[in-house]
Amino acid sequence: MKYMTEKQIEEARAAVPALHKMLHLNTGTKGLTAQPVIDALVRLTKQLEETEGYAGLSAVQAESLTARARLATFLGCDDSELAFTGNATESLNIALSVRWDAWGTSNNGPVDVLISDHEYPTTNMLFGYLSQIGKVNLIRFSLSEDMQKMLESLEQNFTSNTRLVVASHVDCNTGLRIDAKALCDWCRTKNIISYIDGAQAVGQFPINLHEMGCDLYISNGHKWLFGPNGVGLLYIKSGLETSLTPLCVGTGTMHFDPNGVYEGDPKWAHGAQRFELLATRPAQVFATMHAALDWYEHFGEGAIEARQRELTAQIKARLLEMPDRFRLITPLAWEEASALASFQIIGVSGAQILDFCSAQLTQKRAFIRAVPEFDAIRLSMAYYNTPEEYEILWEMLEGI
Ligand SMILES: Cc1ncc(COP(=O)(O)O)c(C=O)c1O
C-alpha cells in the first residue's frame, strides 16, 4: 500500500482552506473539501448561473452522469445500479419504497426487521416510523466487529417472518467495522434482504459492492470522499428495483413522452435510476464529484487509506497511554475499525461531553463530535489531520 509522503501531506494541508480556520477533528460528520474541488464547484455554478443559465444545464447534467458512472466503478457496481440522491438520509428512505405488505407473514402481521443496536439516529427514526404505521416489527441485534458474535445475535433474533436486516458498515458511534460480506452471505442463506448503511465507510477503505453481495447500500459524497454537500448514493442490486415502488415520479425516473401519453405499464428508467429525479437539480454539485475523485486519487491508490490508518493507530496508542483518564471503545485492529475512534473520559457523563464539545466549537472553533449515548467523544482521523492537532485536543480536555 502506498503511503502519502510528507510532501503530499503538506500539499494536502495547504489545499484545504477550512483547516486553517479551525481545529477540525470531525470528518465523520463532514469531510473538508480541497481547493481544486471547491474551484470545480464554483466554476460549474458560474457556468450555469452567470454564463449559460438553464441552457447550460444539460451539459452539466451530462457531467453529473459521468461522475455517477465513475463512482459506480469506484464502488464495484454497475452504473445502472447506482442512483444519486441528495444525501445518505434520502437514500435511507428507500425503505419507504419497500412493498412491506407484499412480503406476507405467517401471522398476517407486520414483517420482522432485524436492525442493529448501533444505527444512525435517523435510521432509528425511519424504521421507528415504519413500525409506528404498522409496516414492520423491529427486532434489535448486536452489531459487532466479531462476526461470530454478530452471527449468534442474528441467529438468536431471526424469525420465520424476518425479511430484512439493517446494519451499518461502519458504526457512526464507535467507528467499528463489520464484516459486511459475511453478513450479506448470511442474509442470502436466509433469503432476506441486506440493507447496509455505508455513510461512514465509502472512501475509508476499498469497497466492492458486487463482491460484498448486498442488496441495498447507501452512502454520501461529503464525508470520506471529501466532496461538497448534496450528494447521496443509493445502490440497488440489479433486479431488486422492480420490487420497490418509486416515491417520486418525474424527469429522470421515467421515460418522458412529449405528447403526454402515459398508458399501459409505467416505463421506468433503467435499474436504480428510477429513483433518481433529474428535473432542475443542482447538477453542478453531482458533477463536482469528478473533481473530488481526481483529488482523492491523485495521492495514489491506497494512499489516503494508508495515511488515515497510520494516524488512527497513533491516536489510539496515545489514548491507551492514559488509561486512568480515557477508555477507548473502538476496536484496535484497522480491519475491524476505521479512521474513527471513540473514547470515554473516566468519571465524565455524556451530557458533560456534549456541553464540552458545543463550547469548544463556539469558543475555540474546534469541531469535535460528542456521542452522548455512549458517554463518549468520537475523533476522526482524516488524511489532512496531523498528530499535533490531537495534542491540542488533549490539552483542551484538561478543562473538562
Ligand atoms: C451511519 C450514518 N448514516 C447516515 C448518515 C446521514 O448522512 P447524510 O448527512 O448524508 O444524510 C450519517 C451521517 O452522519 C451516518 O453517520
Could you read off the pLDDT of 77-116 as tens digits, one per residue? Answer: 999 999 999 999 999 999 999 999 888 787 788 999 999 9
**Which residue has the CA at smallest separation from atom 15 of ligand 1?**
199
Q: Point out the ligand 1 atom lying closest to the alpha carbon of residue 29.
A: 14
CA–centroid distance, 153 to ligand 1, in Å, is 25
The closest alpha carbon to 103, from 7, 243, 217, 301, belongs to 243
Give ∠ CA 33-35-36 in degrees, rounded to 5: 105
For ligand 1, whether the C-beta of 120 sits within 6 Å is yes
Over range 71-82, report the average pLDDT.
Answer: 98
pLDDT band at 53; cut points 50, 70, 90 = confident
d(CA 318, CA 329): 14
Pocket-testing residue among 116, 124, 197, ligand 1, by greatest number of atoms within 8 A of Cβ: 197
Contact 80, 73 (CB under 8 A): no
For ligand 1, whether the C-beta of 197 sits within 6 Å is yes
CA–centroid distance, 277 to ligand 1, in Å, is 20
d(CA 379, CA 315): 9
Pocket-testing residue among 30, 92, 122, 233, ligand 1, by greatest number of atoms within 8 A of Cβ: 122
pLDDT band at 1; cut points 50, 70, 90 = low
pLDDT recorded at residue 355: 96
Exposed, middle or buried by CB within 10 Å (0-12, 13-18, 19+), for 48? Answer: buried
CA–centroid distance, 217 to ligand 1, in Å, is 12
For the chain, the residue count is 400
Checking if the pLDDT of 291 tops 70, the result is yes
Strand partners, 139: 114
Over range 18-47, report the average pLDDT.
Answer: 97
pLDDT recorded at residue 184: 98
Which amino acid, 158?
A: F
CA–centroid distance, 263 to ligand 1, in Å, is 39
CA–centroid distance, 105 to ligand 1, in Å, is 31
pLDDT band at 366; cut points 50, 70, 90 = very high
Helix axes 57-75, 289-298, angle to 10 degrees: 40
Q: Which residues, other chains included, contact 67 with Cβ-Cβ below 8 Å and sequence gap of 6+?
A: 286, 287, 288, 289, 290, 293
Q: What tens digit of pLDDT does each residue of 242-258 get?
A: 999 999 999 999 999 99
**Which residue has the CA at smallest separation from atom 8 of ligand 1?**
88
Over range 282-287, report the average pLDDT.
Answer: 98
Q: What tens digit of pLDDT does each residue of 214-236 get?
A: 999 999 999 999 999 999 999 99
For ligand 1, whether the C-beta of 89 sits within 6 Å is yes
For ligand 1, whether the C-beta of 172 sits within 6 Å is yes
> Which grid cell is 246?
418509486
Higher pLDDT, 400 or 386: 386
Pocket-testing residue among 29, 92, 116, 120, ligand 1, by greatest number of atoms within 8 A of Cβ: 120
For ligand 1, whether the C-beta of 145 sits within 6 Å is no
CA–centroid distance, 371 to ligand 1, in Å, is 14
For ligand 1, whether the C-beta of 71 sits within 6 Å is no
Contact 103, 193 (CB under 8 A): no
pLDDT recorded at residue 220: 98
Q: Around Cβ 14, how many Cβ atoms within 10 Å?
A: 13
For ligand 1, whether the C-beta of 200 sits within 6 Å is yes
Exposed, middle or buried by CB within 10 Å (0-12, 13-18, 19+), for 157? Answer: middle
Please tell me whether residue 226 adopts helix, strand or coil conformation. coil
Exposure class string for 268-301: b at 16+ Cβ within 10 A, else e: bbebbbbbbbbeebbbbbbbbbbbbbebbeebee
